[in-house]
Structure 1
Amino acid sequence: MRLSYGKFLCVCLTGLCLAGCSEEEKTAAAAPRQARVMVVTPHKLATVAQGAGRIQSRYVSEVGFEVGGRIISREVDIGAIVKKGQKLAEISAVDYRNKVTAAEADLTAAKATLVQVVAQEERFRILLGKGFTTHSQYDEALKSLQSAQAAVKADEANLRIAQNQLGYTQLLAPDDGIVTATGADPGQVVAAGQMVVEISRNDAREAVFAVAGEDIAGAELGMAVNVSIQGRPDIVVTGTIRAISPEADSTTGTYQVKVALASPPPEMRLGAVVVGRVESAGGQEVTTLPPTALLQSGDEPQVWVIGGDGKVQRRNVQLLQFDTDSVVVSHGLSAGEKVVTAGVNSLADGELVNPETEVE
């Protein structure tokens, strides 16, 4: 069978075109792929802890009467601002006035007796010097004098006690502060020492937090804590941990941590809800990568690492933290290595890549 020249030429051109296409495809396949990478830069792991607490006073006094009785008035309620020496409450003083009256009468009688025995002792002393009485009679007179003197001292002490008890019927504020609780109302009979009013000093405020057991190990005395008003992050002060409870609360299982505040703003009033934040650098070195660097295949987390020849290879890594913004790698990468951070699912093992942008 014979082919015409025109048909032969078409066949030849077709073959050349196919050969040319094959060469172009090989050239395109061999061209490095553009890849966005990140240089591995290890850093110390930063530990961040945050929790809510309340502003409390470092010094809280549970004030009560030093004597018992029926309350006839209470001058303050919760939230009242009081000054040192201000009257807070009063109990019935009728019985205590009667005790003062009785003590005064006893003292008057004792002083009268003392006057008599003083004169008697003086007479016997003179008679003894002249030989008109015996030593035993004088000794009895001297004994009576000493007893009368002791009785006067005892009655004077009893009078002072009665007067003090009368004064205790008025409850006075021991310090400047704010009333944060009350424990008894008018008409109620209270015992000595029973809490009637609780006063919190306003000049020594601190933030108190309940910290979970898994976080308490990271708390240390003197550690800096950023304390801010809940909902007002612009109002913030730096305090230091001054006390850590050695035992967990039996109900919640949390530990109480107290943070001293040097100069808290007026907004951090007693009872205000605050947020405490602690940032500390741990000893472990880690690498932070964007989530797009992780491969979506395999049983273990993997990333593409660019070798010295410019080709990518899979690398198993261990993740410490993972969220929508970043992943923290604890093992598997070394400083200075380049990790592909975009288009990782379209690469193949051993594929040659050309780093487009290096991000540190």
Structure 2
Amino acid sequence: MSAEIDIASPQPLRHLKTVAAVALMVAAGIVSGGLFSRVHAHQELTSWTDAQSVPTVATVLPEPSPASQMLVLPGHLAAYINAPIYARVSGYLHAWYADIGTHVKAGQLLGVIDTPDLDQQLQQARADLQNSIANERLAATTARRWTEMLKQDSVSQQEADEKTSDLIAKQATVEANQANVRRLEALESFKRLTAPFDGVVTARKTDVGALIDSGSGSGPELFTVSDAGTLRVYVSVPQSDAASIQPGMHATLTVPERPGMTFEARLVDTDQSISPASGTMLVQLAVDNKQGLLFPGEYTEVHLAMHGDANALFVPASALIFRAQGMQVAVAGPDHKVQLRDVTIGTDLGTRVEITAGLKAGERVIDNPPDSLANGDVVRLAATMPSNFPQGSERAHG
């Protein structure tokens, strides 16, 4: 009986070993598959991350500078001649005959000043003159008599010379009194305030009975007369455009209160210097104003036709990179690698800028470059778009 048991027991053990081996192989397969899928997923993630790390950028083609550009600058109008009328004598205003807006002719009476003190001074000077003339005549008679007596040896030479010298002194006194009378008469003529030229009264700062003190232009003027038939236009031109400004150039003016109207002006001269404070050159133009549509002192926009720079290129202002090294733009090379270029700005036009150095035509400029962009970085290019700047566009400076 025991011999039968010993023979039958090894069969279940072999069966268990087979099951265990199969289970172990299945488990090994599952582990191997999991490891493989994880490695594959990691490789895919790495590839995706590397692909995402390459930025996609939009590029634009720089536009060449147009043959002519309209430079728009702010300016102000001034009367061709503007004369403040001051009092030359002291007194009280007797009357005025021209108010603001009055068109006057040269020599036309504007006002009259009462000068009681000056009138009395003139009367006294005339009396002094008559007294000196009488004394001069007496001295002349006395000198003739003493000269005749000298010939008869009735008086000494010394006495005759004294009478002759007294005559000369009396004549000098007469001349001095005559000059004083002429001076006061000239001052009397300033009682009448007259227009120095044809024009318009633009200010009246006095009234009847007002006390007037004579001065040298330091006090308030009584009247102001302006010649507005032709107006001066003053414009500050940036240094970058100063070399293109030449006398005789023509410009167009516009003013806010007359929309749709333009006025032709001619460049007269410049101050031939650059202001250190503003970096601009003062330019003077002249505009005809016979119709009186423009007013001295008002604001105007001046449109100057300027020749374009053949070497200049226009790019969007959003393409500029501001860094410690200075102004730069990013250019995408043929191998899709970034090249940072130092550039020189000619004119900032707001949404676009003029590049005068550092960039070549046909190069692809990256628009809105990432802040982290560096030399040699690889980028993915979106479609390259032209800048589409209008030819002959206006360059405005405010």
1:222 aligns with 2:241: no
Aligned residue number for residue 212 of structure 2: 189
Q: Deviations over 1:258-306 (max 9, x none)?
A: 432254452234345432012323434356799xxxxxxxx95769x9x
Aligned residue number for residue 269 of structure 2: 242
Q: Which runs of 5+ in 2 are unaligned?
A: 1-60, 317-328, 364-380, 385-398
**Structure 1 residues 147, 300: CA separation in 2 closer, same or farther (over 3 Å shift)?**
closer
In the alignment, the residues of structure 2 paired with residue 43 and residue 249 of structure 1 have an alpha-carbon distance, to the nearest angstrom, of 28
Structure 2 counterpart of 1:259, one-letter code: Q
SS at match of 2:305: strand
Contact 1:248 1:255 in 2 (8 A): yes
Contact 2:68 2:308 in 1 (8 A): yes
Aligned residue number for residue 111 of structure 1: 133
The Cα of 1:125 is off from its aligned counterpart by 1.0
- Indicate which of 261, 282, 290 corresponds to 2:286: 261
Q: Deviations over 1:66-120 (max 9, x none)?
A: 2233333333333222211112222222122111211111111111112211111
The Cα of 1:172 is off from its aligned counterpart by 1.5
* 259-268 vs 197-206, which moves further: 259-268
1:67 aligns with 2:67: no
Aligned residue number for residue 178 of structure 1: 200
**Structure 1 residues 314, 225: CA separation in 2 closer, same or farther (over 3 Å shift)?**
farther
Contact 1:110 1:151 in 2 (8 A): yes
Contact 1:206 1:258 in 2 (8 A): no
In the alignment, the residues of structure 1 paired with residue 276 and residue 195 of structure 2 have an alpha-carbon distance, to the nearest angstrom, of 32
Q: Deviations over 1:7-39 (max 9, x none)?
A: xxxxxxxxxxxxxxxxxxxxxxxxxxxxxxxx9
| Matched length | 284
**Structure 1 residues 42, 315: CA separation in 2 closer, same or farther (over 3 Å shift)?**
farther
Query: Where do residues 339-358 of structure 1 align in structure 2 (5 Å cutoff)?
Result: none
Percent identical: 17
Q: TM-score, normalised by structure 2?
A: 0.58
SS at match of 1:90: strand
Contact 1:75 1:88 in 2 (8 A): yes
Contact 1:241 1:259 in 2 (8 A): yes
Query: Where do residues 317-332 of structure 1 align in structure 2 (5 Å cutoff)?
Result: 331-332=359-360
Contact 2:87 2:212 in 1 (8 A): no
Aligned residue number for residue 91 of structure 1: 113
In the alignment, the residues of structure 2 paired with residue 323 and residue 55 of structure 1 have an alpha-carbon distance, to the nearest angstrom, of 26
Q: Deviations over 1:219-248 (max 9, x none)?
A: 355353523232544423032152349576
Aligned residue number for residue 184 of structure 2: 162
Q: Which runs of 5+ in 1 are unaligned?
A: 1-38, 291-298, 306-312, 336-343, 348-360
Aligned residue number for residue 152 of structure 1: 174
Aligned residue number for residue 270 of structure 1: 296
In the alignment, the residues of structure 1 paired with residue 275 and residue 93 of structure 2 have an alpha-carbon distance, to the nearest angstrom, of 38
* 53-62 vs 179-188, which moves further: 179-188
Structure 2 counterpart of 1:100, one-letter code: L
Aligned residue number for residue 322 of structure 2: none
In the alignment, the residues of structure 2 paired with residue 89 and residue 72 of structure 1 have an alpha-carbon distance, to the nearest angstrom, of 7
